[in-house]
Structure 1
Amino acid sequence: MNQVLGYLLIFIARISDVSLATMRTLMVVQGRRRQAAIIGFFEVIIYVTALGKVVSGLNDIGNLLAYALGFACGNYIGIFVEEKIALGNLTAQVILKGSENQELINILREKGFGVTALQGYGKEGSREVLNITLNRKDLEVLRNILEENDSSAFITVNTTKPISGGYFTSVKKK
């Protein structure tokens, strides 16, 4: 029973520290130094604790298996949590057929998205190109609006780090 608790401790510790590592990496990429440092502090404490337990019992294959399984599950859970939190900003580029899309642009603006409309020319003629700024958590809202209004729109999304100016709102209207 004591051995099983040891395996469970290693497993849970690895899930925790790998999930924290995922969040810390996101914070580093987004330039959130303070949050990355705080998360990193706890991540390392948990990691060293789990590693110490495994290294002190290298003759027990269960320790190694719990460590590896915790690592694998930690990646999965870390990505899941990161997707749910959805921190950061995006810029979506939407290419629409034709040039009469003012109703869609108005809908997007009413929902709180920053929209800049440009004229473009593609292989099949004139296109309207929308550059849309949004919070990452609002990507599904944007996708639904576009699907309802122009299911043939070509959409690309890039991570954005605003420097100055521009249009970002903290709350989108549902």
Structure 2
Amino acid sequence: MTIELIVGYFVVFFARILDVSMMTLRTLMAMRGNKAWAAAFGTVEVLVYITVLKYLINTLDDPVSLIFYALGFAAGNVVGIWIEEKLAFGFLTMQVITMEEPFSFTDSLRGRGFGLTLFPCQGRDGCHHTLNIVFERKRLKELEKLIRDWDANAFITVLDTRTIRGGHFRATRK
């Protein structure tokens, strides 16, 4: 096995990580309606993919190249998701159902820049309060901790939010 062949394996592996990471980010940006980012990630993805595919076609008789190609694909999925989590593009909406008195807590959240609507609801065990909170994805852990500290028994759901229009949330963020 020559050094050139070994370098080729690692080039295929790391290029495939880059290509699949770009594919993951492109897909997520497209789902969130970020056309420019989706196009940019797609351009890099295709350039890398075609380059690696050209190399791979020339080495189809070498099963080790195929294994490195497949391993790069698998690792690229993990890396792409990790990058997207670190970048935390976009917004989330958290729905919190609580039996606690929410008024001072909601004032505190609004003071921290969270967009929030409070409304009464009826559950199996009686009347509750629902907090509908809109926030930047990068603040998820912060908000989870605040809610856990306030009401450890709250029922929480988190939803991906594609678009936000109007309301006080935008004014608070600016």
**TM-score when normalising by structure 2:** 0.93
Report how far residue 157 of structure 1 moved: 1.0
Distance 2:153 2:164 in 1: 32
Structure 1's consecutive aligned runs of 4 or more residues displaced over 3 angstroms after TM superposition are 168-171
CA distance in 1, matches of 2:135, 2:36: 24
C-alpha separation between the residues in 1 aligned to 2:63 and 2:92?
45
Provide the secondary structure at the position in 2 that maps to 1:47. helix
User: C-alpha distance in 1, partners of 2:97/2:152?
Assistant: 11
Structure showing the higher helix proportion among its residues = 2
Aligned length: 170
Structure 2 counterpart of 1:121 = 122
| Equivalent residues in 2 for 1:63-78, closer than 5 Å | 63-78=65-80
Percent identity, aligned pairs only, is 43
Tell me how far apart the structure 1 counterparts of residues 17 and 109 of structure 2 sit (CA, whole Å).
39
1:61 maps to amino acid: P
Question: Do residues 151 (structure 1) and 152 (structure 2) align?
Answer: yes
Which sections of structure 1, spanning at least 5 residues, go unmatched? none
Summarize the Cα distance change of 1:11–1:170 in structure 2 as closer, same or farther, 3 Å threshold. farther
Counterparts in 2 of 1:170 and 1:17: CA distance versus 1, 3 Å: farther
Structure 2 residue ranges without an equivalent (≥5): none
Q: Which TM-score applies when normalising by structure 1?
A: 0.93
Q: Return closer, same or farther for 1:170/1:74 CA change in 2, 3 Å cut-off.
A: farther
Alignment of 1:47-66 (within 5 A): 47-66=49-68
Q: How far did residue 115 of structure 1 move?
A: 1.0
